[in-house]
Each structure stands twice: as C-alpha cells, then as structure tokens.
Amino acid sequence: MQSELIATLQEANREIRGLISKLSGKKNEAYNAALLPGELQALSRKLARIARQLAGVPPTRPKEEALQAAISEYAGNLEELERALGGVQDALGKRRDQLKRDLGHMNSARAWMEAFRSTN
C-alpha cells in the first residue's frame, strides 16, 4: 500500500510541478497561460483521491522514509501551486477590470457616434 501511495504521490508531484512551471512561465501574461480544458479539474480529482489515500494511513504506523519524503515534497508543491494560482487569479482580475474599462470606453464612443449621426 505504501509503495503504491509513494508512486501516486510522485506522479502527482510531477504534475503539480509541471502546472506550476506552466503558470509561472508567463509572469506578465498569467491570464494567457495555456491550460488544457479540464486540466485543473483532473488535478483536483487526483488530489482528492490522494487525500483519501493519505487519510487511510494510520498515524501510528511506522512510515518509510521514501513515503515521508514524497509527502513532504507533495506538501511543498501544493503550497507553491497555491501561490502560482493566486498570481494567476490576480492577473486575471486585473485583465477583467481592464476589459470592463475598455468596454465602457467602447460603449461611450458608440453612444457619442450615434448621437453625432442623429444630429447630422
């Protein structure tokens, strides 16, 4: 069971690091990060499965060093992912605000143009 859990954690760690790399590689354009459709949902399901597996490991049972190392790396990767997703969220919020301002300017220009046409 522990070796299966170690393999699952190692696979999840690779996926999380890959996603962090993808999200962090576009510091100034985080809202353009190329996430495949459903990528976050698939990772979320995998993380939920891992949480259930970890809950099944009794705390009193001696753990292998490899398992402890995998769990430690997993926890660190989750913290990094949280920071990366926070950065993307901030960038997306700024982009959304800019798009709203642009839409407001466009609507104002359209209203001015229609008023100008109606008076000529």
Sorted by where each begins, the domain ranges of the chain are: 2-93
Q: Cβ(58)–Cβ(1) under 8 Å?
A: no
- What are the pLDDT digits (tens) for 27-63? 555 555 567 778 889 999 999 999 999 888 777 666 7
Kindly tell me the burial class for residue 54, based on how many C-beta atoms sit within 10 Å of its own C-beta (0-12, 13-18, 19 or more).
middle
Out of 6-15, 43-52, 61-70, pick the least confident. Answer: 61-70
Q: What is the DSSP letter of 107?
A: H
* Predicted local distance difference test score (pLDDT) of residue 34: 63
Residue 92 is encoded by which pair of tokens?
Answer: 């997306």
* Cα-based distances in Å from 62 to 59, 72, 73, 78: 8, 16, 19, 24
Query: Quick one: CA dihedral 97, 103, 105, 108, positive or negative?
Result: negative
* Predicted local distance difference test score (pLDDT) of residue 107: 96
Give backbone dihedrals phi and psi of 106, rounded to 5 degrees, phi first: -65, -40
Q: If you count DSSP H runs as helices and E runs as strands, how many of each does the chain have, helices first? A: 3, 0
